[in-house]
């Protein structure tokens, strides 16, 4: 493990609209999942050798000190830049220990991950849920494990992630799916969306939050196009023609697919609007935690 220096780890966010979070926490730097679309590869983040996982030096001490300095308790997000449940976490347990600190100092947590390792920490999540909001968002972009192996080569398979959602929700932890990004010309199909919604319902998901499209900017665009040429010949040319240098690459079928998605979610009684998800997972906690509304 290579360590990188950090002065602070738990930082306040300006925009609370993303799942109602108050703070952000990234213990690790880089990621080994190898997802071909990862925005964190973008040059603007200045992460060299992105596929190598690094940890913040003295992370737990810094997190403890950061939490002690906060005047207001709230929800701490983790997983925005690197997966908090990367393969090294199984032994290092930095994320688990950080959750124990959040519990001790009575903060909530919003986890984003592609790993079923999160179920290891169900006991701590349930303890946190006694006093503060908890939400676990598991990213699933395809129902097809064979496609998953190509676009997310080192991450757990989609069906393993669906199983993790079931284990979380069966235990009483509020969990659901980030259906983002849906790659244009690859995953933006009626079949894929319907299957994800149906499997989400079968596995007890409380919500699905979608992005029917993706983002591309310098750094991850070049990497993504290289992978398209290798695994999906001819698709890169469609991107260049349709999107040029645009950051947001919305599916050409966005209107049709959005209607299909929302209709399926309504039938399955799954929440999909950000505001509804936030209200739902924060329901029953102190009024100060619902200040967003």
Dist. CA 139–CA 137, nearest whole Å: 6
Any idea what the CATH number is for the domain that residue 33 is in?
3.20.20.70
Q: What is the predicted pLDDT for the residue at 45? A: 79
Q: What is the predicted pLDDT for the residue at 44? A: 81
pTM of the complete model: 0.92
Q: What is the predicted pLDDT for the residue at 290? A: 43
Number of domains in the chain: 1
Per the domain annotation, does 10 fall within a domain? yes
Dist. CA 281–CA 79, nearest whole Å: 18
**pLDDT tens digits along 18-45:** 999 999 999 998 888 989 999 888 888 7
Tokens of 128: 């946190």
| Domain membership of residue 65 as a residue range | 2-282
Q: What is the predicted pLDDT for the residue at 81? A: 83
Tokens of 51: 């596929």
Per the domain annotation, does 87 fall within a domain? yes
Per the domain annotation, does 198 fall within a domain? yes
Report the 3 state secondary structure along 83-103. CCCCCCHHHHCHHHHHHHHHH
Q: What is the predicted pLDDT for the residue at 40? A: 85
Q: What is the predicted pLDDT for the residue at 145? A: 97
**pLDDT tens digits along 65-83:** 999 999 899 999 999 889 9
Please check whether residue 95 is in contact with residue 119, taking contact to mean a CB–CB distance below 8 angstroms: no
Per the domain annotation, does 293 fall within a domain? no
Per the domain annotation, does 287 fall within a domain? no
Cβ neighbourhood burial of 267 (10 Å; 0-12, 13-18, 19+): exposed
What secondary structure letter does DSSP report for 61?
A: H
Q: What is the predicted pLDDT for the residue at 292? A: 39
Q: What is the predicted pLDDT for the residue at 3? A: 86
Per the domain annotation, does 263 fall within a domain? yes
Q: What is the predicted pLDDT for the residue at 286? A: 63
DSSP for 116-169, written as a single string:
GGGGGGHHHHHHHHHHS-EEEEEE---S-HHHHHHHSTTSPPHHHHHHHHHHHH
Per the domain annotation, does 292 fall within a domain? no
* Spans in the chain with pLDDT lower than 50: 288-293
Dist. CA 179–CA 105, nearest whole Å: 32
């Amino acid at each position: 493990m290579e360590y990188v220096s950090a002065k602070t780890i738990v930082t306040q966010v300006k925009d609370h609209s993303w799942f109602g979070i108050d703070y952000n926490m990234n213990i690790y730097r880089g990621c080994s999942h190898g997802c071909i679309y990862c925005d964190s590869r973008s040059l603007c983040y200045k992460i060299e050798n992105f596929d190598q996982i690094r940890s913040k030096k003295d992370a737990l001490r810094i997190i403890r000190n950061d939490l002690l300095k906060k005047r207001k308790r709230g929800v701490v997000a983790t997983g925005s830049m690197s997966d908090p449940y990367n393969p090294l976490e199984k032994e290092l347990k930095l994320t688990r220990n950080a959750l124990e600190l959040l519990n001790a100092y009575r903060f909530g947590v919003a986890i984003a991950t592609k790993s079923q390792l999160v179920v290891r920490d169900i006991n701590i999540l349930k303890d946190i849920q006694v006093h503060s909001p908890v939400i676990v968002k598991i990213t699933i972009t395809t129902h097809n494990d064979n496609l998953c192996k190509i676009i997310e080569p080192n991450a757990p398979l989609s069906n393993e992630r669906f199983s993790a959602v079931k284990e979380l929700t069966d235990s009483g932890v509020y969990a659901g799916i980030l259906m983002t990004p849906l790659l244009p010309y690859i995953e933006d199909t009626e079949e894929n969306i319907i299957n994800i919604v149906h499997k989400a319902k079968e596995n007890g998901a409380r919500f699905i939050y979608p992005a029917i499209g993706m983002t591309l900017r310098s750094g991850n665009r070049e990497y993504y196009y290289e992978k398209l040429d290798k695994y999906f010949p001819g698709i890169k040319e469609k991107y260049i023609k349709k999107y040029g240098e645009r950051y947001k690459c919305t599916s050409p079928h966005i209107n049709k697919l959005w209607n299909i998605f929302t209709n399926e979610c309504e039938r399955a009684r799954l929440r999909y609007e950000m505001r509804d998800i936030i209200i739902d997972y924060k329901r029953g906690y102190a009024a100060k935690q619902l200040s967003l509304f």
